[in-house]
Amino acid sequence: MLLSTMKLVLLLPTFVLGFPTENCVPKMRLRKNRSPVLLTTIRAEDFRMGVKSQLSPLHFQSPLVSHRMSSLSLRSTLQERSDSGNDKAQETKAFLQLCELLDVKPAGLLRLEQCKKSGIRGVFANRSLSKGDMIMSISLSSCLRDNQTPSWMMEIADDLGGLCNPSAWATRLAAILLDRQLDRERDHATALWLSLLPDPDHLRASLPIHWSESVLLSAQCTALELAVDTAFFPRAHAIEVLLKALNSIDDATHAIQHMNEAARRSLCENALDIVQTRTYRLGEDDRGPPLRVLAPVFDFINHPSCGSANAYFALEGGVSPHLVVRATREITDDSEV
Residue 117's SS3 state is coil
CA dihedral sign of residues 79, 85, 86, 91: positive
Q: Please state the pTM of the whole predicted model.
A: 0.76
What is the reported pLDDT for 42?
30
- For the segment 311-315, the average pLDDT, to the nearest whole number, is 92
Per-residue pLDDT for 158 more than 60? yes
CATH class of the domain whose range is 2-327:
alpha beta
Are 11 and 51 in contact by the 8 Å Cβ rule? The answer is no
What is the reported pLDDT for 283?
75
Where are the chain's structural domains? 2-327
CA–CA distance, 239 with 39 (Å, rounded to integer): 20
From the list 274, 249, 279, 306, the residue with the least C-alpha distance to 199 is 274
Residue 45's SS3 state is helix
Per-residue pLDDT for 316 more than 70? yes
- For the segment 50-74, the average pLDDT, to the nearest whole number, is 32
Structure confidence by residue, pLDDT tens digits, 95-133: 999 999 999 999 999 999 998 888 889 999 999 999 999
CA–CA distance, 290 with 17 (Å, rounded to integer): 14
Are 203 and 212 in contact by the 8 Å Cβ rule? The answer is no
Per-residue pLDDT for 38 more than 50? no
pLDDT winner (highest mean) among 40-49, 186-195, 215-224, 241-250: 186-195
Q: How far is CA 269 from CA 61, 167, 232, in A?
A: 24, 18, 12
DSSP label of 36 = -
- Residue 301 neighbours by CB under 8 Å, 6+ apart: 1, 2, 122, 123, 311, 325, 337
CA–CA distance, 173 with 295 (Å, rounded to integer): 12
Mean pLDDT, the chain, whole residue set: 76
- Residue 118 neighbours by CB under 8 Å, 6+ apart: none
Structure confidence by residue, pLDDT tens digits, 237-292: 999 999 999 998 888 889 999 999 999 999 999 999 999 999 998 875 556 678 89
